[in-house]
Amino acid sequence: MSDIRPFPGLRPRPDVAAQVASPPYDVLNSTEARQMAAENPLSFLHVVKAEIDLPEDADLHGEAVYTKSAENLHKLIDEGVLIQDSKPCFYVYRLKMGEHVQHGLVVGASVDEYEKGLIKKHEFTRRAKEDDRARHVEVLQANAGPVLFTYKASDRVRDLVAGICRAGDATYDFEAADGVVHSLWVVDEAATIAEIQKAFAEVKALYVADGHHRTASAFRVRNIMRDKNPKHTGDEAYNHFLAVVFPDDELQIMGYNRVVRDLNGLDKQAFLDRVSEKFDLREDASAEPVGGGHFAMFLEGSWYGLVAKEGSFPADDPVRSLDAAILQENLLAPVLGVADPRSDERIDFVGGIRGAKELEKRCGEDMQVAFALYPVSVAQLMAIADADAVMPPKSTWFEPKLRSGLVVRKISD
């Protein structure tokens, strides 16, 4: 079963929802966030990336940032920008990007289920990032940014969500600057809430799609607060955390592309010769890979098509047969010397939403070669999580992105 809980969300007034809602903290760097929020004092970037309100040389993980985040959150509350619902609610969150539409439920997800493995993961987390997110939640006493979860689609849940959307207009319905339309319905009727919980009791597991560090930090904060509470019962708000759960057949994954700073001392021809050992190479190719095992490579103004040669990877291994693993094991590590993509500063990652032009741009600036990857499927992600295995770093890029600030979940009174 999946234990999801309603909660009294802290939400913006409808007239300012579009101004408050911001991209997630981890898709913008500090400079980009500072520029985006410069003319918008209501932007939730002031909460999720509060370094933008401090000197540019401020320590991104210093206490001053967390303190400023809490100060900015309370300012939005005190000024009546954010108002808390009077009773526990679920929320339907619909995103539209072009022809793509997905419907999720904003819920409190169970820390206990994460601890028991009923909320499944597919990535390793890094201690430093866990520290950062845990401290952010602990100081704010709130989940400011939601985790993106998925589950194996349920007709019962789908019917309930569709009924909610048909029953009345959305509380929020606005188009963000990137063209994505965000709509939110408040679900506060006790009978409907009970029906949703009953339907999710039949969902065997939830899967972390995007937000492993936020999920892990919720576990750590729960432990901190439990240990400080001699009257802990398990029903306190800190035992659950903010998540938006979408059915697996509505999520959209794009490729997560790579750019590398240099050719590891090789000239162009020597590099291409090395690449040809494990890949069939074609010149004047498309910038879009056509399927799994196919890659597009941009080098010195031209696109090349790469196809992994048969026998160059273990096709029956669910992890090592992923395109990110094939590229890493057969090219990035042995040819370009990128042994650890998590720590090597010569490599960077570019979400597929930015398109081929961004890869070309980066190669004209600080990078020399780029690789476009075919997207991982949700089925692959789930299979790996079910096997308690781990995907290579930066394997999935989900679009459209959830906005932060539309619903905030407090973890204490």
The tens digit of pLDDT for each residue in 358-387 reads 999 999 999 999 999 999 999 999 999 999
Give the model's pLDDT for residue 393.
86
Residue 269 token pair: 């021809």
Q: What is the pLDDT of residue 1?
A: 73
Spell out the SS3 assignment of the chain: CCCEECECCEEECHHHHHHHCECCCCCCCHHHHHHHHCCCCCCCHHHHCHHHHCCCCCCCCCHHHHHHHHHHHHHHHHCCCEEECCCCEEEEEEEEECCEEEEEEEEEEEHHHHHHCCEECCCCCCHHHHHHHHHHHHHHCEECCCEEEEECCCHHHHHHHHHHHHHCCCCEEEECCCCCEEEEEEECCHHHHHHHHHHHCCCCCEEEEECHHHHHHHHHHHHHHHHHCCCCCCCCHHHEEEEEEEECCCCCEECEEEEECCCCCCCHHHHHHHHCCCEEEEECCCCCCCCCCEEEEEECCEEEEEEECCCCCCCCCCCCCCHHHHHHHHHHCCCCCCCCCCCCCCEEEEEHHHHHHHHHHHHCCCCCEEEEECCCCHHHHHHHHHCCCCCCCCCCEECCCCCECCCEEECCC
Model confidence at 37: pLDDT above 90: yes
What is the model's pLDDT at position 119? 97
Q: How many CA atoms lie within 13 A of 370 on its CB side?
A: 29
Whether the ω angle into residue 400 lies within 30 degrees of 0, i.e. cis, is yes
Model confidence at 250: pLDDT above 90: yes
Backbone phi, psi, residue 355, to 5°: 80, 175
* Per-residue pLDDT reduced to its tens digit, 40-91: 999 999 999 999 999 999 999 999 999 999 999 999 999 999 999 999 999 9
If phi > 0 it is left, if psi is from -120 to 50 it is alpha, else beta; for residue 252 that is: beta
Report the chain's mean pLDDT, rounded to a whole number. 96
> What pLDDT score was predicted for residue 35?
96
CA atoms lying within 13 Å on the CB side of residue 165: 17
Whole-number CA gyration radius for the chain: 22
User: What would the CATH number be for the domain defined by 256-374?
Assistant: 3.30.1760
Closest-CA residue to 97 (of 32, 41, 181, 40): 181
Q: pLDDT digit string (tens) for 156-187?
A: 999 999 999 999 999 999 999 999 999 999 99
Structural contact between residues 371 and 327, judged by C-beta atoms closer than 8 angstroms: yes
Q: Give the integer Cα–Cα distance in Å for 47 and 31.
A: 15
Answer for the pair 367, 347: CB distance below 8 angstroms, yes or no.
no
Q: Which one, of 339, 322, 332, lies nearest residue 376 by Cα?
A: 322
Question: For residue 113, is pLDDT > 90?
Answer: yes
pLDDT category of residue 342 using cuts at 50, 70 and 90: confident
* Distance of alpha carbon 393 from alpha carbon 341, whole angstroms: 7
> What's the rounded Cα separation, in Å, for the pair 273 and 148?
41
pLDDT at 211 over 80: yes
- pTM of this structure: 0.93
pLDDT, residue 14, reads 97
Q: What is the structure's pLDDT at 10?
A: 98
| Predicted pLDDT at 413 | 73
Place of tokens 């306190």: 236
- Distance in angstroms (rounded) separating the CA atoms of residues 378 and 210: 12
Contact criterion met (CB below 8 Å) for 69 and 25 = no
Q: Where are the domains of the chain?
A: 4-252+399-410, 256-374
Phi, psi of 339 (to 5 degrees): -75, -40
Instruction: Provide the pLDDT confidence category of residue 92 given band limits of 50, 70 and 90.
Output: very high
Q: In this structure, what token pair is assigned to residue 292? A: 């799994």
Contact, 321 vs 313, CB < 8 A?
yes
